[in-house]
Amino acid sequence: MAKKKEKKDKIKKILSDEILNHFLKKPTKGFNHKQLSKALGDFGGKQKKFIPSILSSLSKQNKLYEITPGKYKLHPVYHEQYKHSGPVITGVVEMKQTGKAYILSDETPEDIKISPNNTNKALDGDRVKVFLFPKRKNQKTEGEIIEIIERKKTKFTGIIEMSKDFAFFIADNKSMPVDIYIPKENINNAKNGQKVIVEITDWPDHAKNPFGKVISILGEPGDHEVEIASIISGNDIAVEFPESVIKEANKLSDKISPEDYSQREDFRKVTTFTIDPADAKDYDDALSFKKLTEDSFEVGVHIADVSHYVKENSETEKEAYKRATSIYLVDRVIPMLPEHLSNEVCSLKPNTERLSFSVIFNITQSGKVTKKRFTKTIIKSDRRFSYNEVQDILDNQNGEFYRKLSILNGIAKNLREKRINKGSILFDRTEVKFKLDDKSKPLSVYFRQQKDAHKLIEEFMLLANKAVAEKIGKTKKDVKPKLFVYRIHDTPNPEKLNAFAEYVAKMGYKIKTDKRKSISDSINKLLQDVEGKGEQNLVETLTIRTMAKAEYSTINIGHYGLAFDHYTHFTSPIRRYPDLMVHRLLYSYLTDPSKKFNQNEIESKCKHSSEQERVAQEAEWESIKYKQVEFLSDKLGEVFDGTISGVSKWGIFVEIDENKCEGMIPIRTLNDDYYYLDEDNFRVIGYNKNKIFRLGDKIKVSIENVNIVKKQVDLALE
């Protein structure tokens, strides 16, 4: 009898905790015993007879209160006490269009889910404090945002919609979960439907929507300059350089001083060339080549010596740090450095003497490095090649510097093979490019794919970056490495990796999840096996989603994707701030090995650079998406072959094969059946006929509707 009572009390205790936890997750909602029984699933259903008495007990404890007979709500006093007594973490909000959010935090290995009613006015990118709810078995940890530590942004770009005495602002950013209310006196002459920039001025406790004011009118939606301005301002990107920076930069001369001639290695008579995209204007890397013996060559990787010109704490340096990266939109480049520096003084232009910071390798045809050194140099590029020009020379086995380019290409291929054998993961990247007319209207879409010319440069840049990182970070066991900036890439999240392995197993492919090397080997084999098959797009997409994001840090954990224990970014200081930091640190240690630096300061700069890199990637993607939508705007009714690139409860996303433009087939338009989302298996299924649309499937679609303002393409199934 005592055992039965003990078991009953245990069940009631568990059920009480589950009920209270449910109320904590939805503190503004009221529930009766039937609703709770349903919400708690099988357990709640089996033990529903206990629920009324538990609700009454929790009410007597002032944890709940009865709002109507039999219906209860979380007691606000208990809610406040509980929030501040339990486990709390800090993190950054990743807001979804639905209003729910996830918290990314260094304090926990998993993302924390936040339901829409528990975001408490936090917005995308905000740094917040989060109270963690007790975790239920086999369920994602959830929480409630209890404090906004730092608001990421208060200015937004979007469309204004007018009413008689007020307006509402709808942000372009899909991560903005609410519209902004604009009182009449803050409309500032904006007209209905215009693109504007709005600043949040207040968010009263009682208000569902924040209040704001129009601070700038961009113009009419759909206009190219207005849309690009919207992308720029929506991502808080600075375009114009401050006058003080321009003046300071313009004073810098590209004349080389006698001191530089005497203190640097002279490579002006060694064959040197640059290889870049045809439309490039800043050349920050060059290769030199000299034959030493039949199977030994001196290859110099020469990088523009930006740190020679951009001094620490100068106005130019401060502005470069703010920007942290150059940004490449479809029709323009927003540089990190003023044009006088990026395109002139620092750029390794042909037939022009330039200062560089170099890594000089003695290397064999097989890719074995027998010697390397790091030194400041003077170079004079003999030739500026485009990638296409080098590719033509390699393909035709004829042309300027063919023999030297051929040897370099052979070495690069061997370096690449060694990388793969050590576990480096290879993704064949395809860049989407547009041919624009003089009014920036897209005339055609083309793709920039990696060929041997690209891979040649990539391998030598990787080699230099790795060598620089090893120079500082690779030490004897009992020697602590000096402070440095690394480009790190973490191993895949085990949960994501296991889910990925389980999914591809259903298609007959095997992914090993035990050891680092076996994981990367099996992923490379998988990518090779699916090439040219119907599931290629699906598998490549899921592989990328499984990977962690690369970032900058002073804490070296290696680069998983490249299979390098030490890696950094040294080769692009004209367009990346971390490379500039690396140049300074490397040169300081070469000239004064005892030099010390502040880790907190350097780590803070690393985090800022990683954040700005993500901003740049987002802006670049938005500009491509805009041009893709515009490109399809005059193709209504045309039929295309496509590949399913995503599925959601709203629709099936399809990437058109011939132009890589993406649109969506709304679920509501599939009227031959009732379709539902099978999220775990990335597919949409017809309830009655069991017709399946799966990520990666080939499909025929027609262009149904194009909305340039919303960057939205509606497709119809053919």
Instruction: Tell me, yes or no, whether 290 and 364 share the same domain.
Output: yes
CA separation for the pair 320, 311 (Å, rounded): 11
- Which residue carries 């002006």 as its tokens? 268
User: Whole domain around residue 176: which residue ranges?
Assistant: 155-221
Q: What is the pLDDT of residue 15?
A: 85
Nearest to 132, CA basis, from 149, 150, 151, 107: 107
Give the end of a domain, one of 150, 179, 194.
Answer: 150
Residues 90 and 149: beta-carbon distance below 8 Å: yes
Task: Say if residue 137's pLDDT is above 70.
Answer: no
Lowest mean pLDDT among 376-390, 407-421, 576-590, 681-695: 681-695
Is residue 222 within 8 A of residue 627, CB to CB? The reply is no
Closest residue by Cα to residue 491 from 559, 565, 419, 418:
559
- CB 195, CB 215: distance < 8 Å: no
- Inter-residue contact 292 to 407 (CB < 8 Å): no
Are 659 and 641 part of one and the same domain? Answer: yes
pLDDT of residue 548: 85
Q: Please give the model's pTM, rounded to 2 decimal places.
A: 0.84
Note the pLDDT of residue 641.
93
Q: What is the pLDDT of residue 477?
A: 83
Give the mean model confidence (pLDDT) for residues 479-498: 89
Beta bridge partners, 488, equal 551
Contact 89/107 with Cβ under 8 angstroms? yes
Which residue would you say has higher pLDDT here, 138 or 348? 348
Q: Between the ranges 37-46, 48-57, 562-571, where is the mean pLDDT highest? A: 562-571
| Number of domains present in the structure of the chain | 5
For residue 524, being part of any structural domain is answered with no
Strand partners, 170: 159
Say whether both 177 and 48 belong to one domain. Answer: no
Which CATH number goes with the domain that contains 672? 2.40.50.140
Burial of 313 (0-12, 13-18, 19+ CB in 10 A): exposed
Residues 662 and 706 in one domain: yes
Does residue 187 share a domain with residue 267?
A: no
User: For residue 84, what pLDDT band results from cuts at 50, 70 and 90?
Assistant: low
Q: What is the mean pLDDT of residues 567-584?
A: 98
Q: What is the pLDDT of residue 609?
A: 97
- Please give the sequence-ordered ranges of beta strands (E in DSSP) within 627-696, or none if there are none: 639-647, 651-656, 662-666, 675-678, 683-686, 692-694
Q: Which residue has the higher pLDDT, 67 or 298?
A: 298
Residue 331 CA: distances (Å) to CA of 106, 188, 440: 37, 31, 7
Element (H, E) at 396: helix 387-396
Buried b (16+ CB within 10 A) or exposed e, 330-350: beebbbbbbbbbbbbbbbbbb
pLDDT at 3 over 60: yes
The yes-or-no verdict on residue 493 having pLDDT over 90 is no
For residue range 357-370, what is the model confidence (pLDDT) as tens digits? 999 999 999 999 99
Span 525-537, pLDDT tens digits: 888 888 777 677 6
Report pLDDT for 132.
86
| Other CB atoms within 10 Å distance of the CB of residue 304 | 30
Cα-based distances in Å from 221 to 157, 158, 186, 226: 11, 9, 21, 7
How does pLDDT run across 182-238, given as a tens digit for each residue?
A: 999 999 999 999 999 999 999 998 889 999 999 999 999 989 999 999 999 999 999
Please tell me the distance from the alpha carbon of residue 265 to that of residue 267, in angstroms, as a whole number. Answer: 6
Is residue 544 assigned to a domain?
no
Structural domain contains residue 642: yes
* 123 shares a domain with 171: no
Rounded to a whole number of angstroms, the CA Rg of the chain reads 29
pLDDT at position 1 over 60: no
Long-range Cβ contact pairs of 588-595 (< 8 A, separation 24 or more):
589/472, 589/482, 590/374, 593/482
Please write down the HEC assignment for all residues of 67-111: EECCEEEECHHHHHHHHCCCCEEEEEEEECCCCCEEEECCCCCCC
Q: What is the pLDDT of residue 506?
A: 77
Percentage of the chain with pLDDT > 70? 98
Question: Can you give the CATH number for the domain in which 71 is found?
Answer: 1.10.10.10
pLDDT digits (tens, 9 = 90+) for 257-267: 999 999 999 99
- What whole-number distance in Å separates Cα of residue 486 and Cα of residue 569? 7
**Residues 181, 134: one domain?**
no
CA–CA separation, 210 vs 475, rounded Å? 54
Residue 476: pLDDT band by 50, 70, 90 thresholds? confident
Tens of pLDDT, residue by residue over 604-649, are 999 999 999 999 999 999 999 999 999 999 999 999 999 888 888 8
pLDDT at 42: 73
Specify the higher pLDDT residue, 51 or 413.
413
Domain boundary pick from 150, 178, 199:
150
Question: Which residue reads 């994001």 in tokens?
Answer: 549
Boundary-marking domain end, from 54, 81, 108: 81
Instruction: Find out whether 329 and 623 touch, Cβ atoms under 8 Å.
Output: yes
Q: Quick one: pLDDT band at residue 429, thresholds 50, 70, 90? A: low
Q: Is residue 709 part of a domain?
A: yes
Q: Which helix H or strand E contains 611, and what residues bound it?
A: helix 599-632
Residue 506 in domain: no
Q: Which residues, other chains included, contact 669 with Cβ-Cβ below 8 Å and sequence gap of 6+?
A: 704, 716, 717
What pLDDT score was predicted for residue 136?
Answer: 65
Does one domain contain both 159 and 144? no
Q: Please check whether residue 519 lies inside any domain of the structure.
A: no
pLDDT at res. 85: 63
**Closest to 362 (Cα-Cα) out of 448, 300, 271:** 300
d(CA 512, CA 497): 9
Residue 380's beta-bridge partner residues?
353
Residue 528, in any domain of the structure: no
CA distance 355 to 253: 12
pLDDT of the residue at 600: 95
Q: Are 138 and 160 in the same domain?
A: no
- Provide mean pLDDT across the span 279-298: 94
User: Same domain, yes or no, for 414 and 372?
Assistant: yes
Could you tell me if 249 and 384 lie in one domain? yes
48 DSSP assignment: G
- Mean of pLDDT over the chain: 90
Pair 565, 705 in one domain: no
Averaged pLDDT for residues 434-461: 91
Taking each continuous run of H as one helix and of E as one strand, the counts in the chain are 19, 34
At 412, give phi and psi (nearest 5°): -60, -40
Asked, for residue 512, whether it belongs to a domain, the answer is no
